[in-house]
């Protein structure tokens, strides 16, 4: 009898888990279930549709219906899993017509993702107040932009800032409100965040930090936001204050939830229940630096976890050792990237650190077109190991972050990094690679 694999969720983690399972077991019966109208699309790209870098939301669908047919995957759209019975090894589903069905499984993979967290801001229920998580959310905001002149984004994380940039690019007078002392607090330390803050304001965006949104103003529809006694006009309000792991189904099924509020998993992405796996934004992972539990809600983490979960669910063997939370973005014409720990997060983990920071250019002074780049390396004082990096620049940020991610994974010391054999050509890079210069500055501090 063929192995029956049921996957709850059909986006980055769900579809990659299904693909890995199919490649491992060619005969398995694989069912994917999602509440949404579309499966296998990239939610990370939604702000870039709003900013018109991508022409339409349809472009975000990575896997066409033909893909599921080719891979012999049973895709159930607009269907909701109402419960899981790990004793009976069944899931109960309900489709959009209200029809109920019970599916049996041999292996279950939970990729239920996350939901937007909306703090208890007075007036958050008004029309004109949005979150941004799905294509449906994006389409609603896109429609609202056409009649809007002003916007407020609450939250200065990745999605918040990418959305705010899109609003500015569409001609809206835009304000970002962040409760914490600086923007991108999960990616950057305050010294690097100030560079981004200054750049955003030069581009015409207003950024308010160290203040919460006290109230969303208006009668039935939002007309503004009250911040520290100031009334900021807003035809559109987007609340981008982070996401929370969607673990309700797992919790109700008796599956253990970890200290990060994600589903607790082992290195095989197995949960506390045999033959039940989890991956993606709902699943807890481990930091490769601190070796402590971590919730890395990034697309790159999701697909790597999903591949491991899919292989194991189909009878193979694979492990996911953990992650660094490597992330990049582009805001206007500035690239921002980070990997590993910030100084702040290292301090919270009880690690003593020093940092090496350098501002350089991507090409020699004599070659036209070079752009500024700022590199910060975070080094553990006792071991001299590289444990984190942050880069802000006009180009070539992603591959430098990737290189530094490799260095951290291989437990490279800052002295070893300073001896790296890097390349040079006038149209492409300086003679002295900025990462190496930052390492040398860190060594002087040591």
Q: Are 134 and 209 a contacting pair, CB within 8 Å?
A: no
Pairing status of strand 150-154 against strand 236-239 = parallel
Number of H helices, E strands in the chain: 12, 25
Alpha helices in 36-79 (DSSP H): 46-50, 65-70
Torsion of CA 176, 177, 183, 184, to 10 degrees: -90
Active site residue 44: yes
Q: Which among 215, 144, 127 has a CA at the least distance from the CA of 177? A: 215
| Residue 216: burial class (beta carbons within 10 Å; 0-12, 13-18, 19+) | buried
Catalytic residue among 44, 282, 323, 423: 44
3-state secondary structure of 375: strand
- Burial profile 219-233: b = 16 or more Cβ within 10 angstroms, e = fewer: eeebbbbbbeeeebe
Q: Are 265 and 256 a contacting pair, CB within 8 Å?
A: no
Q: What angle do helix axes 12-24 and 299-313 make, rounded to 10 degrees?
A: 30
Q: Which among 282, 307, 309 has a CA at the least distance from the CA of 297? A: 282
| Beta strands, E only, 86-219 | 90-95, 100-104, 107-110, 114-116, 129-130, 150-154, 173-178, 206-209, 215-217
- Residues designated catalytic: 44
């Amino acid at each position: 009898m063929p192995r029956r694999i049921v996957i709850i969720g059909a986006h980055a983690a769900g579809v990659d888990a299904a693909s890995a399972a199919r490649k491992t077991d060619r005969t398995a019966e694989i069912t994917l279930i999602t509440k949404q109208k579309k499966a296998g699309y990239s939610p990370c790209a939604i702000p870039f549709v709003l900013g018109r870098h991508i022409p339409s939301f349809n472009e975000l669908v990575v896997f066409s219906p033909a893909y599921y047919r080719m891979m012999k995957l049973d895709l159930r759209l607009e269907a909701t899993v109402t419960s899981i019975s790990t004793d009976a090894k069944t899931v109960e589903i309900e489709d959009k017509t209200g029809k109920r069905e019970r599916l049996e499984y041999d292996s279950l993979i939970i990729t239920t993702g996350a939901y937007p967290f909306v703090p208890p801001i007075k007036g958050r229920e008004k029309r004109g107040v949005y979150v941004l998580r799905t294509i449906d959310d994006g389409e609603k905001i896109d429609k609202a932009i056409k009649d809007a002149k002003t916007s407020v984004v609450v939250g200065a994380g990745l999605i918040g800032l990418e959305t705010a940039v899109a609003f500015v690019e569409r001609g809206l007078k835009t304000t970002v409100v962040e409760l914490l002392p600086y923007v991108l607090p999960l990616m950057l330390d305050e010294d690097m965040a100030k560079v981004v803050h200054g750049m955003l304001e030069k581009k015409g965006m207003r950024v308010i930090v160290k203040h919460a949104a006290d109230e969303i103003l208006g009668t039935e529809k939002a007309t503004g936001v009250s911040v520290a006694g100031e009334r900021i006009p807003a035809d559109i309000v987007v609340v981008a204050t982070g996401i929370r792991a969607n673990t309700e189904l797992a919790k109700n099924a008796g599956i253990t939830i970890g200290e990060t509020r994600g589903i607790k998993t082992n290195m095989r992405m197995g949960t506390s229940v045999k033959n039940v796996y989890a991956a993606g934004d709902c699943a807890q992972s481990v930091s490769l630096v601190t070796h402590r539990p971590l919730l890395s809600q990034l697309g790159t983490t999701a697909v790597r976890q999903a591949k491991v979960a899919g292989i194991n669910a189909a009878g193979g063997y694979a492990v996911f050792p953990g992650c660094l939370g490597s992330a990049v973005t582009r805001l206007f014409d500035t690239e921002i990237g980070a990997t590993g720990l910030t100084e702040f997060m290292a301090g919270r983990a009880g690690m003593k650190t020093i940092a090496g920071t350098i501002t350089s250019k991507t090409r020699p002074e004599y070659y036209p077109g070079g752009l500024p780049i700022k590199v910060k390396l975070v080094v553990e004082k006792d071991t001299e190991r590289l444990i984190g990096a942050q880069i802000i620049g006009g180009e070539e940020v992603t591959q430098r972050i990737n290189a530094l991610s490799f260095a951290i994974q291989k437990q490279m010391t800052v002295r070893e990094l300073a001896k790296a054999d890097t390349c040079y050509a006038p149209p492409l890079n300086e003679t002295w690679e900025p990462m190496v210069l930052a390492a040398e500055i860190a060594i002087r501090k040591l």
